Amino acid sequence: MGRGHNCYSLLDCGRALRCCRSWTLLCSMGGCVSQSFIDSLSGARCILFGAGITGAPTLKFLKSRGAIVISVDEKVIGPEIKSELKAEDLVGVKLAVVSPGWRVDHPLIKVALRAGIEIISEIDLAWRVKEQIAPNQRWIALTGTNGKTTAIQMLESMLIQSGIKAKACGNLGYTAIEAVVESGSDILALELSSFQLEWSKLAHFESVAILNVAQDHIDWHGSFENYLDAKLKIADLADLVIVNRDDQYLAESGKRLSKKIIWISLQVPGKNEIGLVENIIVDRAFINGDAEALFELGDVTPSVGHNVSNAMAAA
């Protein structure tokens, strides 16, 4: 995903993610010109579901654009946070932004849906803003049960070392809306959870990777099949999908995807695959010739299976 020829020092995974840049960069990136969606937020009544890690920067952005925001959260307590929605709260509201973890069948979500309010994820909000203030910015993403944060940091490191201005964001605590407004990056690398994917429909990625799938969040999704489907939804948002062939669930379900697929594996790669040959990670997917060495197994620390697979996906 982050292909560049300078990949050998990609494994500085302890890189701290930069944050806390000025929100005034929005204007320098084009936020002060006529823009229909962003301008429409001024004076608009919006509902924000969730006041936590994702909700706080989302609230900050919406207020910075002049929106009148009704924050709703049943767990976070605050003087401006509601735990329920009354009829008067819904008057004039056209848009709601939902934080990860809110189920479609949540009673408060149902209230908004019955009122005809459009509900979008923070990821989709960021995409709408990006389309206006940074239309040339490219998005790539990955998901998986385990190893997402390590893999996204690998990817960010690869891109930066290849001379690309890139920023990791999403499920690792630095939100997409912050990255779009603050970073000025050419590429955003998003780590996405099944909760985020459940609500996201508008964003579009040049490429995505599905690292692995294991029994997780079953209580929230209702079944493992629903959880798997939520992970696979990322393919609907992308041109190219990278899938781990060594994962027992993805090896079968990945075949159902209609998008172009590049398989990764710790085995010897076939055509259109990235794999392992005599302790060398070999690319047979993105090159014109027969094969190309990407990096050596010893360059990945620790050189355990899942970490090597994550490095392949990032590469």
pLDDT for the residue 291? 82
Cβ atoms 63, 14 nearer than 8 A? no
Cβ atoms 266, 253 nearer than 8 A? no
pLDDT for the residue 50? 96
Strands 273-277 and 260-264: parallel
Handedness of CA 295, 300, 304, 310 (dihedral sign): negative
User: Which residue type occupies 45?
Assistant: R
Tell me the domain boundaries of the chain.
Answer: 25-121, 127-314
pLDDT for the residue 219? 86
pLDDT for the residue 302? 60
> Between 3.40.50.1110, 3.40.50.720, 3.40.1190.10, 3.90.470.10, what CATH number should domain 127-314 receive?
3.40.1190.10
State the residue for tokens 């979008």.
120
The DSSP letter of residue 51 is -
What's the order of all strands across the beta sheet hosting 166-170? 166-170, 187-191, 138-143, 205-210, 238-244, 260-264, 273-277, 280-283, 292-296
* Fold match, 25-121 / 127-314: no
Can you tell me whether residue 246 is helix, strand or coil?
Answer: coil
User: For residue 85, which of 62, 108, 58 has the smallest C-alpha distance?
Assistant: 108
pLDDT for the residue 232? 94
State the residue for tokens 């010739």.
289
Question: Mean pLDDT per segment of 10 residues, for the chain of length 315 residues?
Answer: 42 33 40 67 97 96 98 87 94 96 94 97 98 97 92 94 97 96 96 95 96 89 92 94 94 87 92 89 83 80 71 78
Handedness of CA 195, 201, 202, 204 (dihedral sign): positive
Q: Give bridge partners of residue 45 from the DSSP assignment.
A: 68, 93
Fold of the domain built from segment(s) 25-121: Rossmann fold (3.40.50)
Max distance between CA atoms of the chain, in angstroms, equals 67
